[in-house]
Amino acid sequence: MKFVVILFLFGLILLITFSKRIKGLVGEKTISSILLLLDKTEYKVINNIVLKSGAVTTQIDHLIISDFGIFVIETKNFKGWIFGGENTEYWQQVIFKSKIKFYNPIRQNHRHINALKTCLKEYPNLKYKSIIVFSTRATIKVNTSKDVIYSYQLLPFIKNYQEKNLSIDDKEIIFRKIKSDNLINTFDKQKHIKSIKNRIQKREKLINENTCPNCDDNLIRRNGKFGDFLGCKSYPKCKFIRNI
Residues in contact with Zn ion by the rule CB under 5 A: 212, 214-215, 217, 232, 234, 238, 240
Nearest distance, CB of residue 136 and Zn ion, angstroms: 49
Torsion of CA 55, 58, 63, 65, to 10 degrees: -20
Q: Report the residue number, 84 or 231, with the smaller CB distance to Zn ion.
A: 231
Nearest distance, CB of residue 234 and Zn ion, angstroms: 5
132 within 8 A of 119, measured Cβ to Cβ? no
Percentages helix, strand, coil for the chain, rounded to the nearest 5? 40, 35, 25
End-to-end CA distance of the chain: 32
CA angle 73, 77, 79 (to 5 degrees): 140
The distance from CA 210 to its chain's CA centroid, rounded to whole angstroms, is 39
Q: Report the residue number, 144 or 234, with the smaller CB distance to Zn ion.
A: 234
Own/partner long-range contacts of 230-236 (Cβ < 8 Å, ≥24 apart): none
Nearest distance, CB of residue 239 and Zn ion, angstroms: 8
Q: Report the residue number, 91 or 240, with the smaller CB distance to Zn ion.
A: 240
Q: Report the residue number, 134 or 240, with the smaller CB distance to Zn ion.
A: 240
The distance from CA 130 to its chain's CA centroid, rounded to whole angstroms, is 18
Nearest distance, CB of residue 235 and Zn ion, angstroms: 8
Amino acid at 50: V
Strand partners, 168: none
Q: Residue 145 CB: number of other CB atoms within 10 A?
A: 6
Q: Report the residue number, 162 or 208, with the smaller CB distance to Zn ion.
A: 208
Nearest distance, CB of residue 242 and Zn ion, angstroms: 11
Nearest distance, CB of residue 202 and Zn ion, angstroms: 15
Q: Report the residue number, 25 or 220, with the smaller CB distance to Zn ion.
A: 220
